[in-house]
Amino acid sequence: MDIFGRLTIESLPFYSAIAASGAAVTVLGALSVAAVITYFGAWRLVVFQWLSSVDHKKIGIMYIMLALVMLVRGFVDAAMMRSQQAIALNSDGYLPPGHFDQIFSSHGTIMIFFMAMPFLSGLINLIMPQQIGSRDVAFPFMNAVSLWLSTAGAALVLISLVIGKFSTAGWTGYPPYSGLEFTPGVGVDYWIWAVLISGFGSTMTGINFLVTIIKCRAPGMTMFRMPLFTWTVFITSVLIIFAFPALTVACAMLALDRTLGMHFFTNGMGGNMMNYINLFWLWGHPEVYILILPAFGVFSEVVAVFSQKRLFGYISLVLATMAIGLLSFTVWLHHFFTMGSSARVNSFFGTMTTIIAVPTGVKVFDWLLTMYRGRIVFKPPLLFTIGFLVTFVIGGLSGVLLALPPIDYLMHNTTFLIAHFHNMIIPGVLFGYLAGYMFWFPKAFGFKLNEKWGTRAFWCWIVGFYVAFMPLYVLGLLGMPRRMEHYEIAAWQPHLIVAAFGAFIILLGMICLGVQLWVSIRDRKEALDLTGDPWNGRSLEWATSSPAAPYNFAVLPKVECRDAWWDMKQRGVAYQRPEKYEDIVMPKNTFAGAVIGAAGFAFGFAMIWWIWWLALLSLAVIGAAIIVRASNDDDEFVMPASEVKAIEDARFAQLAKAPKNAMEGEPGFAGQPAPEPAA
């Protein structure tokens, strides 16, 4: 059976009912997607309009679909852990230890790498080029490669549920436990290759966004006229480019240890496991800012638009973002104060960690002052923003506590830490992305999301969050370590039961999100966005139609100040019809991106299962795809002016039908100039 490496029939999950049902759900999920596509007869559309697309808006939408699917999967894991811990006093509960360990590992891995990262790339792809008045990202094809490599990584995590097992080493994969000696089998390898392959995609995404922002801005869009979301993307891209290599190196070395018997992180033979931990967090801390800065960007846009007021302290927000970006490389050791550094080193990193709270505090005040005396419209994106502001401050305070090494010695690896980082990452990152999702959904699809269900989702999420995670602070103070499969201390159980109830409320929030999507699609005719500017917006993404034309802007906008679109509406030059249209050069669709993604998946699978011929074959396919693509000088086409004119004429016809200003009916509407549809 050599040709299958270490893959045998025993790798299928028939050893346990729970594992088998997880596998069944995964397989059925995949089949039902295929069935739905077949039912709508949409294979052609999916394959030729989406799989091969290099349009940043479609790529953005696909990223977000991936993120939402993975959010569901990550939440199922969380719910299983919460219910296990609620009942596992003096008993094994329903999950055996090995299985529980897989679940916290996959939950963390999925949420960080395959929910948050794709969500972030998706929102940025969808919006950033439009915000800077560009027709696309700098490298549309590379963008597709990034998407499909991320998808390949996610597919590896998903398939680990069906073939073999996932890692039990947590989302951090610390050696020596994650080494071959203590964890043989394929679990850690699934983790490594999923992370490595998607990591390559993320690095390319970072390069792509940075070049786009620096090179592709519309005339007049100087750096200090860029919307704040774009600014945060700029800093996040820099962080991606400089931080992800450390993760790549750490994971590659772990893979070498496990596959070729090297001794980077082994217990003996000259291994040095602290080196892994340093490399991992050298990426890991910047990573939390990679995730949260764009969310800060979303909040900045949302808070200004729904306060109908210019963003307060634009410059200070930009500078704070830069400061956070810089400082984020100077704090990584706070993740392992307890692992043997001297008091002096610990105090340095403790101090830096406290300092990084300062620019974040600046931002909070800027957002508050933007709302101050604003005419606030309480739409779901703003609700998420307010929920974030209140909740995030609590998480920040517990973070400043943990930054003090003596306190961290007490709290390290307790559920206090779990409470702290969920307290940052759910309101900070997830609420930010959900706010962005509801804010920009009309831009992607041309109709608004249902606001009633959005509001319900918000209330379930925020209440559920508090009920699920505040008890974890208490449990941490009671000394409960993280990652516990069962326990003997009766005093913990009531808190864990409350936390499980909180997870149930979050489940209702998830359901509300699903219902919202369903109801909105069903009733889309009633919530059409005909102007492309449903919220009376301020930045250039609202100047395009909803959904935007393939080229975004028929004529590149001329920017004269910050809040460019708002300014154009003020000056009465919004919605102007140009005298004539020009040909537009566009990138051609290509399957090379999807092929590279598929081969990347096959390569990862082969490396996990030691199927060497398949590894070589898939590498060869990737190499061939790159060479063929790189030798092709005919990767663009010209969309003739007549076609552009046809699209734009339809848009202006639609504008003429639109109500004057979509926000006119809102309380507090400040009488901004209404879009003047041309005849």
Partner 1 sequence: MSSAATMSVSTRDTERYEEKDFGFWLYLMSDAVIFACLFATYLVMVGNAAGGPVPKDVFSLNRAAAETALLLLSSTTFGIAAVSLWAGDRSKVLLWLAITFLLGAGFIALEFSEFSGMIAKGAGPDRSGFLSAFFTLVGTHGLHVSVGLVWILVMIGQVFAKGLTAPVASRLMRLGLFWHFLDIIWVVIFSVVYLPGLL
Q: Does 313 bind partner 1 (CB under 8 A)?
A: no
Q: State the binding partner of 271 from Cu ion, ligand HEM, partner 1, none, CB within 5 to 8 A by kind.
A: partner 1
User: Tokens standing for 622?
Assistant: 């990737």
- The Cα–Cα gap between 598 and 327 comes to 37
Q: State the binding partner of 482 from partner 1, Cu ion, ligand HEM, none, CB within 5 to 8 A by kind.
A: ligand HEM
Identify which range of 47-55, 154-162, 213-221, 597-605 contacts partner 1 by CB under 8 A. Answer: 213-221
**80 neighbors 58 (Cβ within 8 angstroms):** no
User: Tokens standing for 119?
Assistant: 């969500």
In degrees, rounded to 5, the angle at the alpha carbon of residue 352 between the alpha carbons of residues 418 and 413 is 20
Identify which range of 103-111, 147-155, 515-523, 636-644 contacts ligand HEM by CB under 6 A. Answer: 103-111
Q: Which of 413, 367, 369, 416 is nearest to 394 (CA)?
A: 416
| Residue 588 C-alpha from the chain's centroid | 27
DSSP 534: T
Q: Does 415 bind ligand HEM (CB under 6 A)?
A: yes
- The Cα–Cα gap between 396 and 112 comes to 19
Q: Does 271 bind partner 1 (CB under 8 A)?
A: yes
Q: Which is nearer to partner 1, 118 or 587 (CB)?
A: 587
Candidate list 73, 107, 217, 285; residue touching Cu ion; CB under 5 A: 285
Judge residue 355's burial from the number of C-beta atoms within 10 Å of its C-beta, 0-12 exposed, 13-18 middle, 19 or more buried. Answer: middle
Q: Does 329 bind partner 1 (CB under 8 A)?
A: no
- The Cα–Cα gap between 635 and 363 comes to 43
Candidate list 45, 561, 585, 670; residue touching partner 1; CB under 8 A: 585
The answer for 446, left when phi > 0, alpha when psi is -120 to 50, beta otherwise, is left
Q: State the binding partner of 279 from partner 1, ligand HEM, Cu ion, none, CB within 5 to 8 A by kind.
A: partner 1
- The Cα–Cα gap between 371 and 385 comes to 11
- The Cα–Cα gap between 382 and 438 comes to 10
Does the N-terminal peptide bond of residue 547 adopt cis geometry, omega within 30 degrees of 0?
yes
Under rule CB under 8 A, which residues in 367-406 are in contact with partner 1?
A: none
Candidate list 263, 482, 577, 645; residue touching ligand HEM; CB under 6 A: 482
Q: Does 592 bind partner 1 (CB under 8 A)?
A: no
- Residues 6 or more apart whose CB falls under 8 angstroms from that of 167 comprise 102, 105, 106, 109, 173, 178, 183, 187, 188, 190, 191
Q: State the binding partner of 105 from ligand HEM, partner 1, Cu ion, none, CB within 5 to 8 A by kind.
A: ligand HEM
Candidate list 78, 138, 155, 159; residue touching ligand HEM; CB under 6 A: 78
User: Tokens standing for 609?
Assistant: 């299962």
Q: State the binding partner of 87 from partner 1, ligand HEM, Cu ion, none, CB within 5 to 8 A by kind.
A: none
Q: State the binding partner of 35 from partner 1, ligand HEM, Cu ion, none, CB within 5 to 8 A by kind.
A: none
Determine which helix (DSSP H) or strand (DSSP E) holds 636, and give its type and residue range. Answer: strand 636-639
Q: Which is nearer to Cu ion, 165 or 285 (CB)?
A: 285
Q: Does 617 bind partner 1 (CB under 8 A)?
A: no
DSSP-based three-state secondary structure for 338? coil
- The Cα–Cα gap between 488 and 479 comes to 12
Site string for partner 1, 111-150 (x = CB under 8 A): ---------------------------xx-----------
- Interacting residues with ligand HEM (CB under 6 A): 75, 78, 81-82, 104-105, 107-108, 111-112, 115-116, 170-172, 415, 418, 422, 425-426, 429-430, 468, 482-484, 503, 506
Site residues for partner 1 per CB under 8 A:
138-139, 203, 206-208, 210-211, 214-216, 241-242, 244-246, 248-250, 252-253, 256-257, 260-264, 266, 268-272, 275, 279, 282, 582-583, 585, 623, 627, 630-631, 633, 638
